[in-house]
Amino acid sequence: MIQDNTDPTSSEGTPVLVAVGEGLLEVGMRNDLPSGYLGRGFGGDVANVAVMAARMGTRARLLTRLGADTPGRLLLDFWRHAHLDVDRITVDPSAPTGMYVNAVRHGGHTFDYYRSGSAATRLSETDVDEHLLDGAGALHVSGISLAISGSAARAAERAAELARDSGVMVTFCVNHRPMLRPDTDRNLAFARAADIVILSSEDALAMLDTDRLDRIRAMLGEGPQEIVLTDGPAGAVVLSDGEIHRVAAPSVVVVDTAGAGDALAGAYLAGRLAGTAPPDALEPAVIAGALSCRWPGCARSYPSAEEVARVRAGASPDVEPQPFSSESA
């Protein structure tokens, strides 16, 4: 495992968000790059959530595996500069780091993934022990964590068992990805046992055959205390304590929507771990998701807490964004 003796954030003593899943190096293809050049980015849904939470001032720890290769080194460097706790990341010399191509085009983007047999798919229950949740306020897992391999799913489920035994909140982003052939029953069981469930309208339709919040609540049962339903540029809604709160997204000049849902989730969980009530946690989360669309790529496009606060206070969201990178951290 990687040992990093630096302070992961300046929020010593605050609850830790522990994320279990994969990280992926992003290769960007877009029109604003010179001919013959590719963009470098950083992705993986739970890793993105952890980065955004850290950007909002929350301590975040990532459990995953990386290959002993250049993509793995680039990811690890980025996560360290993003102030993630990387002590639970294992470098596996027998498997590569997963990658994906994000081809940004007018009106949207396409993803092509190269993760089969990656180091992250070899995540297993042996990577999970009682110290994973030291200082944790929440454990975060996604449907992708459950879908990349059977052993990764068992690792995530074992971590959730430990969290429940320890009184640690379990949060779940559905992130239904048909290309991974997810086990819908397994995902549904995990969602029903989670404390906070975050899903998009597309996720809800794919897993539950409905995007109506009342029906989603009925199908998930009484396990989740909070359900966050996102709807792209329309914003998001949270159901908590029987009350529904809606937040509209600010209008921004969209460059790339990749990773926007993860930004929303990371900012929302940061707010909840800080003790902010669900309606008040959702507002900056929706702003963070929107602001992330102003720049290409996933985690490197995420705004700072200061940028989110300025927009929340009434500043224009169309001020020239400052992309987050290891050089600017």
Q: What backbone phi and psi angles, to 5 degrees, belong to 274?
A: -80, 0
At 178, which helix (H) or strand (E)?
none
Q: Tell me how far apart the alpha carbons of residues 203 and 176 are, in angstroms, rounded to a whole number.
A: 5
Rg of the Cα atoms in the chain: 18
Task: Give me 149's structure tokens.
Answer: 């391999």
Sheet with 39-43, edge to edge strand ranges: 39-43, 24-29, 99-105, 108-114
262 has catalytic annotation:
yes
Q: What backbone phi and psi angles, to 5 degrees, belong to 312?
A: -65, -30
CB environment 218-237: b (16+ within 10 A), e (fewer)? eebeeebebbbbbbbeebbb
- Please give the angle made by the CA atoms of 270, 275 and 280, to the nearest 5 degrees: 75
Q: From residue 254, how far is each of 247, 258, 305, 314 by CA, in Å? A: 19, 10, 20, 19
Asked if 167 and 140 touch (Cβ cutoff 8 Å), the reply is no
Which entry of 203, 262, 280, 318 is annotated as an active-site residue? 262
CB atoms < 10 A from the CB of 94, how many? 9
Q: Tell me how far apart the alpha carbons of residues 180 and 25 are, in angstroms, rounded to a whole number.
A: 18
Asked if 258 and 228 touch (Cβ cutoff 8 Å), the reply is no
Which amino acid is present at 66? Answer: L
Asked if 171 and 49 touch (Cβ cutoff 8 Å), the reply is no
Question: Which residues are catalytic, by number?
Answer: 262
